[in-house]
A and B are shown apart, each in its own frame.
Chain A
Amino acid sequence: MDNNTFEPTIIGFTCNWCSYRAADLAGTARMKYAPNVRLVRLMCSGRLDPTFVLRALAQGADGVMITGCHPGECHYLEQNYKALRRFLLLKRVLAGLGIEAGRVKLVWASAAEGAKFAAETTAFVEEIRKLGPLAWGKDEGGRMKDEESENSSFIIHPSSFEKEVTP
């Protein structure tokens, strides 16, 4: 074990129907991948409120992985497209906040793609490792105060993610 290696902490949001099952499948098939990702199960990638991502980053995550069903395969018909457009806007917002857009990644993984889930996870850990720890919003001592994190969670009004893209 190399103590000098930066080990990022990553929060992964998974869809109950595809990517969470892909993670299950990776497990059943005993595929090994980087242990840095901790998963939150949602019913759909469409449930992903961008503030969840900001919350995770504010609370100490170095990166966030969002996973959903392949376009056209959503169990709720088309909600993953909504996740996609939120993701694209979110990246712009993060850039505006001075956070590397690469800290958030969107991956499509069907329930059958355990191998893809494992590979993408490991790859993402490497990408975050290259970016280094997220220093955003942290005061000199380290972590951000809770009041601040509450505020920062809502600097972006969630509706802006819908309004801008709803024709």
Chain B
Amino acid sequence: MNQEKIGVYVCHCGTNIAGVVDVEHVAKWAAEKLGRQGVIVARDYKFMCSSLGQELIEKDIKELGLTRVVVAACSPHLHEKTFRTAAKNAGLNPYLVELASIREQVSWVHTDKAVATEKSKAVIAGAVSRVIENRALEEIKVPINPNTLVVGGGIAGIQAALEIANAGFHVYLVEREPSIGGHMAQFDKTFPTLDCSACILTPRMVEAGTHPNITLMTWSEVTNVAGYVGNFHVTVKKKARFINEELCTGCGICEEKCPKKVIDDVFEAGLGYRKAVYAPFAQAVPKFPVMDKENCTYFLKGTCKACEKFCPTGAIDFKQEDQLVHFDVGNIILATGYDLFDARRVSNYGYGRLPNVFTSLEFERLSNAAGPTNGNIVLRDGKSTPKSVGIIHCVGSRDKNFNNYCSVICCMQGLKFAHLVHERTGATVYNFYIDMRTAYKAYDEFYQRVLEEGTLFVRGKVAEVTNAARDEREKGKLIIQVEDTLAGKQRRIPVDMVILSSGLQPRRDSKEVGKQFGISCSTDGWFTEKHPKLDPVATMTEGIYIAGCAQGPKDIPSSVAQGAAASARVLDKILQKEVTLEPIKASINAEKCSGCRICNGLCPFNAIAYIEDDNVSNINPALCQGCGTCVAACPAGAISGTGFSDEQIMAQIDGLLLRTLEGV
């Protein structure tokens, strides 16, 4: 028999609960049967979460001196905070309140009233037993370092960095490639306005490159992250550029004189060439080129050095080495972007086998005035202009054989391609789609415009692209075989060129990157947000935010919006100067710890350290995320977890099984 005074409050939730559960009976039962456990009052009320309902509880706490409260209502994910705040207002430690979910777990999922009422009793008995074991807890406060790390220099990362820098705080912007700009720098036009992509992007790139509050690190990768929200320690590897940035003026003579031509798989999507020493494109930021060690003749054979000979400022430095840079930040934004789906995997579309099948990124470069063909849309032979073009939507997306999700941008991208082909070549254009998804502002209007231009739309997922002609009309062409689902007939449409509107997929290394930063990925590999609706840029790890396509496929406006949203969250944190953490933490009782170190390896956040001198392990509460794995594993029972202690859980089990009714 314990000394606690417990109040039980059963919510009707209108008819949501009361329609199925006999709430009055349940309250009466709790007062009677759970009295031995310390329940001194049990009430039912129409809406416990209303201010009147809360006042009822507050009043009882004050007047009856309640030391524990159980609210039987909805899921704790909805109103736990409400009732904890009410308790706090009445002077009771908020962590001495428990919610028993009898709506989501009982009244909404069961129909038999008697059964539902019985189950409600068990759920409440569990909560009562548990709450007796609850302990008063204090929130944890940690100071925040005002610097921020932004990983990824695409449009989302640039936006986030600029917002924070403009607010007066320092940002480290780290980019893997030689220049910032990301995929957007590769595009020719942007839908639906057909703005020139470079024209709207480069001013932002320049701003980011010259901003006094931004430390720009390109050709660099984050190699280690330690610490926790407010206090991250970051290590970045600056890969050797073999260019002395102090001396280089970005004149481009080295690139001009370099005799080694290499296929550019990254920026030119394999359609064009670059040199072994290169800046990926004319407006690259920073202006300094990089030397590609794998392909440089000097590195391969020991002679050449043409670049060094011609460099007017002596900026070439073959002896440069990779450099590790360390700095501290308070928050991190990951804007690491996406990879294009590899269309070779859909072998029935023939990419890689049939020369005139192109991917979307290849087409972007083809149609770009600064691209390998100066914006001429031509076939793989480099000269012929197509007279007919088929654009296939949903390549690799919405397909259980590849990626299950909709890649969001492909419909609009396909429409943009149709417009560009039509405008530049006058070719007949076919668009093959499953569903036309043109949601968002001015998108459907663009669809209307492309319809007006005479693009031929076929509703059907293309079955195959083949060069096996069945008759004269098809000879020498690529034949697109498809069911025109609106006509209900199979069609074979011969064209000169096929463009695959490939989907987006997570970066190849997203899982490893997620692990490095301590955030999780969905099964698809996109970074998981804290809440899909109400917290789309935060992650489960405090202090780490995500923006742009790293979180899931999205277009430029959404990426920019997310970059800005993530920076707003970071600014909010910085301005708070300190952060409050949920006190669900594990701690080790040094007396009981035998120093076996079983727990050390179990913690994914490296929160547990072994202290050699004392032969015990110790948990850093700021690093601990409260999962409780170590608590479950400790052979000595030396680790306890606040909020979810062994005592609480065991008591709840006994309560749920109504063992506690039988007395001790």
Contact = CB atoms under 8 A, between A and B. Distances in A.
Q: Do chains A and B touch in the complex (CB under 8 A)?
A: yes
Interface of A: 1, 9, 11, 17, 20-21, 23-24, 26-28, 30-33, 35, 38-44, 46-50, 52, 55-56, 59-61, 70, 72-79, 82, 86, 118, 146, 157-159, 161-163, 166
Contact of B104 (A24, A74, A79, A163): A24
Interface in B214-248: none
A47 B645 CA distance: 10
A7 B598 CA distance: 40
Interface in B631-652: 631-635, 637, 641, 643-644, 646, 649-650, 652
Contact of A44 (B511, B521, B627, B652): B627
Contact of A162 (B111, B528, B633, B643): B633
Contacts of A1: 112
A159 B634 CA distance: 6
A76 B104 contact: no
B109 A118 contact: yes
A86 B518 CA distance: 23
A73 B511 CA distance: 10
A118 to B, nearest CB: 7
B632 A158 contact: yes
Given A43-B643, A82-B629, A161-B633, 13 more contacts: A24-B104, A33-B110, A43-B644, A44-B628, A44-B629, A47-B629, A48-B632, A55-B653, A74-B520, A76-B627, A77-B520, A77-B605, A158-B633
B475 interface: no
Contact of A39 (B105, B625, B633, B654): B105
Interface in B585-614: 596, 598, 601-602, 604-605
A38 B122 contact: yes
A47 B628 contact: yes
Contacts of B500: none
B659 A60 contact: yes
Interface residues of B, number: 59
B116 A35 contact: yes
Contacts of B105: 23, 27, 39
A70 B635 CA distance: 27
A117 to B, nearest CB: 10
Contacts of B122: 38
Contacts of B654: 55, 59
A73 B528 contact: yes
A46 B635 contact: no
B377 interface: no
B298 interface: no
A146 B626 CA distance: 31
